[in-house]
Chain A
Amino acid sequence: MSSSPQTLFQKIWDSHVVAEEPGAPTVLYIDLHLVHEVTSPQAFSVLKERGLKVRRPERTVATMDHSIPTKGGYEAADELGRIQLRLLEANANANNVRIYGLNSVQRGIVHVIGPEQGFTQPGMTIVCGDSHTSTHGAFGSLGFGIGTSEVGHVLATQCLLQRKPKTCEVHIDGALRAGVTAKDIILAVLAQIGVGGGTGHVFEYTGAAIRALDMEGRMTVCNMSIEGGARAGMVAPDDKTFNFVNGREFAPKGAAWDQAVARWRRLPTDAGAAFDKTVTLDASTLEPMVTFGTNPGQGVAITQPLPLPSSLADANERAGLEKSLAYMKFEAGKPILGQPVDVVFLGSCTNSRIGDLRAAAGLLKGRKVAKHVRMMVVPGSQSVKQAAEAEGLDKVFKEAGADWREAGCSMCIAMNGDQLSPGQLAVSTSNRNFEGRQGKGGRTVLASPLTAVASAVAGRIADPRVLMNQS
């Protein structure tokens, strides 16, 4: 065993090396492979062509999330969507892979149900044909998105060819002020480093502000690591992590649990371990954040004016900012507060868990969504939906005038019919504000669930702290 101090990432990487040949990438073992309907069909086709089966069905979990309607079941999907959903079922069944199908009461967004069912555990390598697999790093695992060719590789061999990425510590000290959340932390990180700042790196989030977050908040932060270009984002596991995992269906039980926790306690980065790069942020100075442009790195504190292209020295960056502002129909130098809103979307693998819904409902209770605003609330899983309904949160949303839906990715990726019309402005708790991401011609402002609710009530982009102070 090496005596030099190691990072959390290094420990997980080293313990998953199957083989290394000179000049070739590492053959890395994959503990958990999550599969959904959109990025798997062509991978299963490759297996079929070669007469291969899924090598470790027990390490493979399938769910339907991207293409599924949030109302009306299969019949509400378009023809291609129905074909894709049926094909996932057929592929899973032919390979004895566990599938959370449309009628499953536990179905949901792949990055919500992984942790919820206890599949996601500290120290694991976790992949999925989905870039937001970084979410699972909140548990002290190494989770990252892969392409469809690699989905085929993992289905067939349970291994992946990978070059070791560099590490970047994202150190966030200080305590969050009221009305400022995990989502605001990650939007602030992205505003600082830009959408390419983490390329080639794995993030480890450290510091008092990260330790203070609950598991859902840590998932929100890790989820958007990829928006900074980092394929994975991690948080060292602690008692909060273990308490979250304990008792879930696929978590270790009895003596195996005790052994697992003992192993997991050795995972955190050792004192003195070196990172290739460090980024720091003071959480105590943060305000609610919103994006104003067409990538998640174009964010600003909600009270601040939008940046001026003339403030950028690089001509390409200047052109990029001008293009973003033109698409968003926002004016440089002007405040974003008060911009009229058409749609509010509360959902996605970033912010659709029970804590997100509780926070949103807490602020919305006894209030109404502005008349001209359409608010959609889409729980991250059917389990989240049931929990919310048991607490009466659905009633709060419905009484306020919001639409309460079945679980799925929904308007985050707009593949299932839930989408913006051209020109509409949405405040969305999702993760991407790319041009047309929520529907062709749609304009997206990313924000926390609190900011989303405040904006729904005001009918304009609004600071949640104002509404909170009126309670």
Chain B
Amino acid sequence: MSAPKFTTLTARCVVLPVIDIDTDQIIPARFLKVTDKLGLGEKLFCDWRYLDSGAPNPAFILNQPEAKGVEILVAGHNFGCGSSREHAPWALVGWGFQAVISTMFADIFKGNSVKNGLIPVVISPDAHAALVALRAKNPDLEITIDLPSQTVSWPGQTPLMFPIDPFSRTCLLEGVDELGYLQKFQPQAEAYEAAHA
């Protein structure tokens, strides 16, 4: 298993402006019986994306022609709240997303995302509103996320810095395997255990 890598991405986006999108919406619990990570992209936003008949809901953004080939999701405030299920970023990545832009992410979701190469990009409410307005006028709008400079930009927008944990950033840029990194500390862990026995 190789660690995910990310440097820079220029891609189109879709906008899902709903606030407080919880992980039960991203991937409903009934799909958590899998014992691997496969196939979850097909169930992403399942209950918003499909009608009761099972047919795609034409009103939902991911079912519209403009969603084809997009790699960035622009979502409302507090994206990924609720459960700790890592199936949420697995489903987003499985669908084809490489980044989510919001004004705030839930803590556990944020941590799970970077471990799967999905970049949580936080921008200010003003920048977010401007991006949503611009995207409404131009479905072909391309956003650039540049991890080395930790910036996000789009036509007419000078690069905006976004916060990301420096360790996560290094891991993503260099493909560092976090478990491998942690294993290096086993001597210290053993010393800790001996001192606390």
User: Is B20 a contact of A25 with CB atoms below 8 Å?
Assistant: no
Stretch at the interface among B5-13, B31-39, B135-143, B146-154: B31-39
In the complex, what distance in Å separates the CA atom of A370 from the CA atom of B108? 41
Contacts of A441 in B (CB 8 A): 52
Q: Assess whether B144 is interfacial by the CB under 8 Å rule.
A: no
Which of A149, A200, A319, A441: most chain B CB closer than 10 A? Answer: A149
Contact string, B47-81, partner A, CB cutoff 8 A, digits 1/0? 10000100000000000000000000000111001
Contacts of A78 in B (CB 8 A): 33
Q: Assess whether B179 is interfacial by the CB under 8 Å rule.
A: yes
Whether A229 contacts B111 in the complex (CB less than 8 A), given A49-B1, A81-B33, A130-B84, comes out as: no
Contacts of A80 in B (CB 8 A): 33-34
Q: Assess whether A87 is interfacial by the CB under 8 Å rule.
A: yes
Whether A84 contacts B35 in the complex (CB less than 8 A), given A157-B183, A317-B19, A434-B24, comes out as: yes
Whether A320 contacts B167 in the complex (CB less than 8 A), given A150-B111, A199-B107, A415-B33, comes out as: no
Contact string, A151-162, partner B, CB cutoff 8 A, digits 1/0? 011001111110
- Shortest CB distance A379–B (Å): 21
**How many residues on the A side are at the interface (Cβ–Cβ under 8 A)?**
67
In the complex, what distance in Å separates the CA atom of A42 from the CA atom of B32? 11
Q: Assess whether A282 is interfacial by the CB under 8 Å rule.
A: no
Q: Assess whether B42 is interfacial by the CB under 8 Å rule.
A: no
User: Is A195 a contact of B78 with CB atoms below 8 Å?
Assistant: yes
Whether A199 contacts B192 in the complex (CB less than 8 A), given A23-B166, A157-B182, comes out as: no
Q: Assess whether A38 is interfacial by the CB under 8 Å rule.
A: yes
Contact string, A67-83, partner B, CB cutoff 8 A, digits 1/0? 10000000000101101
In the complex, what distance in Å separates the CA atom of A248 from the CA atom of B186? 31
**How many residues on the B side are at the interface (Cβ–Cβ under 8 A)?**
52
Contact string, A421-437, partner B, CB cutoff 8 A, digits 1/0? 01000000000101111
Q: Assess whether B82 is interfacial by the CB under 8 Å rule.
A: yes
Identify which of A42, A67, A146, A153 contacts B179 (C-beta below 8 A): A153
Q: List 27 A-B contacts (CB under 8 A).
A: A18-B188, A23-B170, A24-B181, A25-B167, A38-B32, A38-B85, A39-B32, A42-B36, A66-B32, A87-B35, A131-B82, A145-B84, A147-B84, A147-B115, A149-B116, A153-B182, A165-B107, A196-B20, A229-B78, A229-B81, A229-B106, A231-B107, A320-B20, A323-B18, A415-B32, A434-B82, A436-B28
Contacts from A to B (Cβ < 8 Å): 18-19, 23-25, 27, 29, 38-39, 41-42, 45-46, 49-50, 66-67, 78, 80-81, 83-84, 87, 129-131, 145-150, 152-153, 156-161, 163, 165, 195-196, 199-200, 226, 229, 231, 295, 297, 316-317, 319-320, 323, 413-415, 422, 432, 434-437, 440-441
CB-based closest 7 A-B pairs: A80-B33, A147-B112, A145-B84, A147-B86, A41-B35, A196-B78, A148-B86
